[in-house]
A and B are shown apart, each in its own frame.
Chain A
Amino acid sequence: MSVTELHRPDDDIRRAFRPLFEPRAIAVAGASAKGVSAGNRFIRLLRETGFAGRVFPIHPSADTIEGMTAYRDLAATPEPVDYAYLTVPAERVADVLSKAAGRLGFAQVMASTEPAQQKAWEEDLRALAAQGGFRLIGPNCMGTHSPRGGFTFMEGAITEPGAVGIACQSGGLGMDILRRGQNLGLRFSGLVTIGNSVDLGPSDLLEFHLADPDTRVVGLYIEDVKDGQRFQQLLRRNRGRKPVVLLVGGITGLGRAAAASHTGAMGGSAQAWKALARQCGAVLTESLDGFLDMLQLCLWLTPRPEAAAAGVTLFGNGGGASVLATDALDRAGFRLAAPTAAAQQEFARIDLPPGASLANPIDLPASVLKQEDGRVTARILDINNRCIAPYATIVHLNLPVIMGYRHIPDFLPNLMDAVFGSGGAAHRILVLRSDRSDEVDAWRRTFRAAAAQRGVPSFDEVPQAIQALAAFRDYEEILVRRQDSGTGSPMADRKARA
C-alpha cells in the first residue's frame, strides 16, 4: 500500500480486508500426511470452530491431508484462495508463494529465519507479494483470530464475535492477549499477529479497525511501527473518536547515546510515544495487564469529559482496604465524592449497626451487606447515584468474607444485581478481591463473567482499578481539549453511534 495522504473511503478499506477476516477459501501449507504439525492443528481448529468456507491443504506429494484432498501448490486449487496460512519452513516459503500470483488475497507466514539471512529473505517475500498481488502478513507470527470469519489460530480461543480489534507484532503476546483477554470477558472483532511486518504493518490494521463498524476499541502492540508518519496521520484524523490503546515495546533508553544536544539527550522513544498519545487521543500503556485493563475501560465505559470534578464513591467491605483505596485515589489525582445533604438524609433512613459508615468511603462489613438478603446495597447505591452522582463508583468486594454468607438464599444474586443494575451516569467499576484459594478464585471467575456480561469492568485489586481509571480520565481530558481545538466533535460522534 503506498504512503498517501489521501483518506480512503471506509468501504474500500473494509472490502480490502474482507479476504482476511471473512475468507471463503483458506489454504494451509505446512500440514503433513502424518498429522502432527502446526498446519494440521490449524486444519483441525477450522473444523472445530465450524469454518464455513472451503479448505485447501497444500502439499508437494501427499494426496490427502486430514482427510481432505491436498493440492500440489497454490496454482492448483479449484478456486482462488482468500487467505493462506503457511507453517512451512523458511526455505520453502518463497516456493509456495511464487505459485500464488493473481489468485491469493492474504498470506500469513509463521516461519522465521537465521539473522544472517533475514534481510534478504524478507526482501524476497515482500517482492513476491508485490508481484503476486497479495498482502503478506509476517513473517515470524502465529496466525489470525477472526470470529466473524469463523476461524482462529489458537486452541481454546472463544470465537464469539466481539468489539476489540487487535494487531500484535509478537505472536506469543498475541496469544496472551487472547487468553487473558477472554478470561476478563473481552471478545474480539479480530486479532492479527503481524510479526516482523515486512508488508502488512500496524498502520494497515489501525486503518482497518478504525473503519470497521464491528470494532469499538482498537489495541495495538508495537515494536517497530514501520511507517510512523502514516500511523500518526491515521491517529490524528481519529482524534480519539474510537479509543486506541497502545502497548509499545522497546522504547526505553533508545537513541540517546548519539545525542549532540540537551534535547536529544532528554528525548527518547518513550517521550515520542507519550507525545503521540497526548496529541492524538490514544492511550499509552506500559504492561500487558495495563493494556488489557484499558481495553476493558474503553470498551465498557462511555467517556464523560463533561464531568468536571473527578469525585469518586468507594463502596465495599473492609476498613483497611477502604483506607488504602482512599490513599490510592488521592495519589491518582481523584478525590472522594462528598455526600450531599440530600444523600445524608436518605442514608439516615437506612438502619445500620454501629461500626458501619455511609460517609465516603462507604465501608460496610459483610454482615451489613447481607441485610435484607443483600438488597441494602441496592438502596445505598441508588442514593449514591441520585443524590451524589459521582464521576465514578468503585465497588470493592472482599470475596472470602462475603462467601461466608453464601448460604443465605438470594444474597449473592441480589448483591450482584445491586452492583450491575445501579443506574446513573457514574462509571461503574467492580473490584473482586480474592485470597487466591482455588475456591474463591472460582467464585471470582463467576462474578467476573457476570460483570463482563453486563459491561462492567472488573479488577483484582483497588489500586489497579484506580490506576486504569486515572488513565481513562486522561483520555477523557484529551477528548475535551480536542473538542475545543479541533474541527470535529468526538463526543457528538460517540453519542450518535450509541
Chain B
Amino acid sequence: MAARASDIPLARAGTEDAIVRLLDGAAQGGQAALDEATAKAVLARLGIAVPRGLRLAPDESPAARLDGLRPPFVLKALSGTALHKSDIGAVQLGLRDATEVAEAAAAIAERVADAGVPLSGLLVEEMAAPGVEIVIGGTTDAQLGPMLMLGAGGVFAEILQDVSFRLCPIEQADATQMLDELRIAPILRGTRGRPAVDLAAITRALLALGGPEGFFTLHQARVAEFDLNPLIARPDGLVAVDARIVLTEGQA
C-alpha cells in the first residue's frame, strides 16, 4: 500500500528526500536512534510543531547563543542511543539564563558519562506552555507491519494504558476514531470549564505520521518504532516536546 515515489507531489518529494537523508545519515553513523534534535527536525518537516531551540556542541558555551530564545529554558542531552533521558537525569527544566544553562550542561554531561552513554551534544529549548499531555507512537508488528498509537501521554503513559492502535496506513476516519476511543477524549474535547484542545492538529499529526503518505507508512523499512511523548495539546495547537525515533537494525 506504500505510495511510490512518483505518487508524491514535487514539494512532498523534496521533504521526503530530506527525511531520508536524516534517517540514512544517522544509520550510517552507527546510531540506533535519531538524536532528539534530528528527530524534531523530521517532525518539523512533517508539519508537526516543535519548541524553538538550538543544538550545542558538548563543550560549547551557551552564553552567546541564547539571545533569540525566550526563557525559561529546558536542556537535554543528545545521543544516538535509544535512551530514556529522564531515567539518567539527562533533562533539566526551568533554567532562567545562560549561567544556569551552562551549569546544567556540566551536570548533565557528568551524569551521562556516568551512565556510559555517548554524548553528541545538548539541546536548549524554550519550555512549552502546559496543556494536556498525549503520546503518538509507532511500532511494528511482526505479522501485520507498522502500526500507529495515540494515547494519554507523559511519564505515566505505560501505567495508564489509555491507548488506541491502528495499522498503517490510516484514514481520516481512523484518526477521529482513535481520539474517540481514549478515556481522556472528554478532557481533550473540553470539560469542566476548560476549552477543547486543537483536535484537528492531533488528527493532522496522526495522518502525517501514519496516513497513506505518512512518515511511518513510507519509511517502515528504516524506522522500527517511535514515540512522540509527550505532545502537549492546547487550544492553540499541538507541540512535540520530546521525540524518539528508533531505527531498524542492520541498515547502516
Interface residues of A (CB under 8 A from B): 5, 224-225, 228-229, 231-233, 254-255, 259-269, 271-276, 278-279, 481, 484-485
The dominant DSSP class at the A interface is helix
Assuming A260-B224, A262-B229, A485-B172, is B145 touching A267 (CB within 8 A)? Answer: no
A-contact bits for B107-149, CB 8 A (1 contact / 0 none): 0000000000000000000000000000101110111110101
How distant is the Cα of A254 from the Cα of B140 in the complex, in angstroms?
A: 12
B36 contacts A by Cβ under 8 Å: no
How distant is the Cα of A494 from the Cα of B62 in the complex, in angstroms?
A: 67
B97 contacts A by Cβ under 8 Å: no
The dominant DSSP class at the B interface is strand
> A261 contacts which chain B residues (CB < 8 A)?
82, 137, 139, 225-227, 244, 246
**Can you list 7 A-B contacts with CB-CB less than 8 angstroms, sorted by A residue number?**
A224-B143, A225-B143, A225-B144, A260-B244, A263-B138, A266-B157, A271-B147
A-contact bits for B151-180, CB 8 A (1 contact / 0 none): 100000110010101110011111001000
> A268 contacts which chain B residues (CB < 8 A)?
141
Instruction: Sort A-B residue pairs by CB-CB distance and give the 5 closest, nearest first.
Output: A263-B137, A485-B173, A272-B141, A260-B82, A264-B139
A266 pairs with B145, CB closer than 8 A:
no
How distant is the Cα of A229 from the Cα of B168 in the complex, in angstroms?
A: 10
How distant is the Cα of A267 from the Cα of B145 in the complex, in angstroms?
A: 12
Q: For the complex formed, measure the closest distance between the CB of B110 and the CB atoms of chain A, giving whole angstroms.
A: 25
How distant is the Cα of A41 from the Cα of B170 in the complex, in angstroms?
A: 50
Assuming A229-B1, A260-B82, is B144 touching A266 (CB within 8 A)? Answer: no
> B142 contacts which chain A residues (CB < 8 A)?
254-255, 269
A-contact bits for B1-28, CB 8 A (1 contact / 0 none): 1000000000000000000000000000
B147 pairs with A262, CB closer than 8 A:
no
B1 pairs with A267, CB closer than 8 A:
no
Partner of A266, one of B32, B151, B173: B151
> B144 contacts which chain A residues (CB < 8 A)?
225, 228, 231-232, 269, 272-273, 275-276
B37 contacts A by Cβ under 8 Å: no
Question: Which of B141, B163, B225 gathers most chain A CB within 10 Å?
Answer: B141
How distant is the Cα of A232 from the Cα of B169 in the complex, in angstroms?
A: 11
> B147 contacts which chain A residues (CB < 8 A)?
267, 271-272, 275
A279 pairs with B174, CB closer than 8 A:
yes
Assuming A262-B158, A279-B174, is B141 touching A269 (CB within 8 A)? Answer: yes
* Residue of chain A at shortest CB distance from B141: A272
B225 pairs with A232, CB closer than 8 A:
no
Count, A-B residue pairs, CB within 8 A? 107
Residues of B in contact, count (CB < 8 Å) = 36
Assuming A232-B167, A485-B172, is B145 touching A260 (CB within 8 A)? Answer: no
How distant is the Cα of A75 from the Cα of B32 in the complex, in angstroms?
A: 55
How distant is the Cα of A31 from the Cα of B138 in the complex, in angstroms?
A: 52
* Residue of chain A at shortest CB distance from B142: A255
B90 contacts A by Cβ under 8 Å: no
B105 contacts A by Cβ under 8 Å: no
* Residue of chain B at shortest CB distance from A248: B143
Q: For the complex formed, measure the closest distance between the CB of B144 and the CB atoms of chain A, giving whole angstroms.
A: 4
How distant is the Cα of A255 from the Cα of B145 in the complex, in angstroms?
A: 12
A228 pairs with B161, CB closer than 8 A:
no
* Residue of chain A at shortest CB distance from B166: A275
B77 contacts A by Cβ under 8 Å: no
Assuming A272-B165, A275-B167, A481-B173, is B149 touching A263 (CB within 8 A)? Answer: yes
Assuming A228-B145, A229-B1, A275-B167, is B173 touching A267 (CB within 8 A)? Answer: no
Q: For the complex formed, measure the closest distance between the CB of A90 and the CB atoms of chain B, giving whole angstroms.
A: 26
B33 contacts A by Cβ under 8 Å: yes
* Residue of chain B at shortest CB distance from A231: B144
* Residue of chain B at shortest CB distance from A251: B143
How distant is the Cα of A484 from the Cα of B171 in the complex, in angstroms?
A: 12
A259 pairs with B139, CB closer than 8 A:
yes
A259 pairs with B167, CB closer than 8 A:
no
How distant is the Cα of A259 from the Cα of B158 in the complex, in angstroms?
A: 13
How distant is the Cα of A272 from the Cα of B82 in the complex, in angstroms?
A: 23
Question: Which of A254, A255, A263, A265 gathers most chain B CB within 10 Å?
Answer: A263
Chain B residues numbered 193-252 whose CB sits less than 8 Å from any CB in chain A = 224-227, 229, 244, 246
List 14 other contacts, CB 8 Å, given A260-B224, A267-B141, A481-B177: A225-B144, A229-B1, A254-B142, A259-B139, A259-B225, A261-B137, A262-B157, A263-B139, A266-B149, A266-B158, A267-B137, A267-B149, A279-B167, A481-B173
Q: For the complex formed, measure the closest distance between the CB of B115 and the CB atoms of chain A, giving whole angstroms.
A: 16
Question: Which of B161, B165, B177 gathers most chain A CB within 10 Å?
Answer: B165
A263 pairs with B225, CB closer than 8 A:
yes
How distant is the Cα of A411 from the Cα of B244 in the complex, in angstroms?
A: 70
> A271 contacts which chain B residues (CB < 8 A)?
141, 147, 149, 163, 165
> B151 contacts which chain A residues (CB < 8 A)?
266
B226 pairs with A263, CB closer than 8 A:
yes
Partner of A263, one of B1, B82, B173, B227: B227
> B143 contacts which chain A residues (CB < 8 A)?
224-225, 228, 269, 272
* Residue of chain B at shortest CB distance from A274: B165
A233 pairs with B135, CB closer than 8 A:
no
* Residue of chain A at shortest CB distance from B150: A263
> B157 contacts which chain A residues (CB < 8 A)?
262, 266
A262 pairs with B227, CB closer than 8 A:
yes
* Residue of chain B at shortest CB distance from A484: B173
Q: For the complex formed, measure the closest distance between the CB of A354 and the CB atoms of chain B, giving whole angstroms.
A: 46
Q: For the complex formed, measure the closest distance between the CB of A362 and the CB atoms of chain B, giving whole angstroms.
A: 35
> A266 contacts which chain B residues (CB < 8 A)?
137, 149, 151, 157-158, 161, 163
* Residue of chain A at shortest CB distance from B151: A266
Question: Which of B1, B170, B172 gathers most chain A CB within 10 Å?
Answer: B1
Q: For the complex formed, measure the closest distance between the CB of B164 and the CB atoms of chain A, giving whole angstroms.
A: 8
How distant is the Cα of A263 from the Cα of B161 in the complex, in angstroms?
A: 10
A276 pairs with B225, CB closer than 8 A:
no
* Residue of chain A at shortest CB distance from B226: A261
> B244 contacts which chain A residues (CB < 8 A)?
260-261
Q: For the complex formed, measure the closest distance between the CB of A424 and the CB atoms of chain B, giving whole angstroms.
A: 31
How distant is the Cα of A164 from the Cα of B8 in the complex, in angstroms?
A: 42
How distant is the Cα of A271 from the Cα of B229 in the complex, in angstroms?
A: 19
* Residue of chain A at shortest CB distance from B138: A263
* Residue of chain B at shortest CB distance from A478: B177
> B166 contacts which chain A residues (CB < 8 A)?
275, 278-279
Q: For the complex formed, measure the closest distance between the CB of B234 and the CB atoms of chain A, giving whole angstroms.
A: 21
> A255 contacts which chain B residues (CB < 8 A)?
141-142
A262 pairs with B137, CB closer than 8 A:
yes
Q: For the complex formed, measure the closest distance between the CB of A254 and the CB atoms of chain B, giving whole angstroms.
A: 7
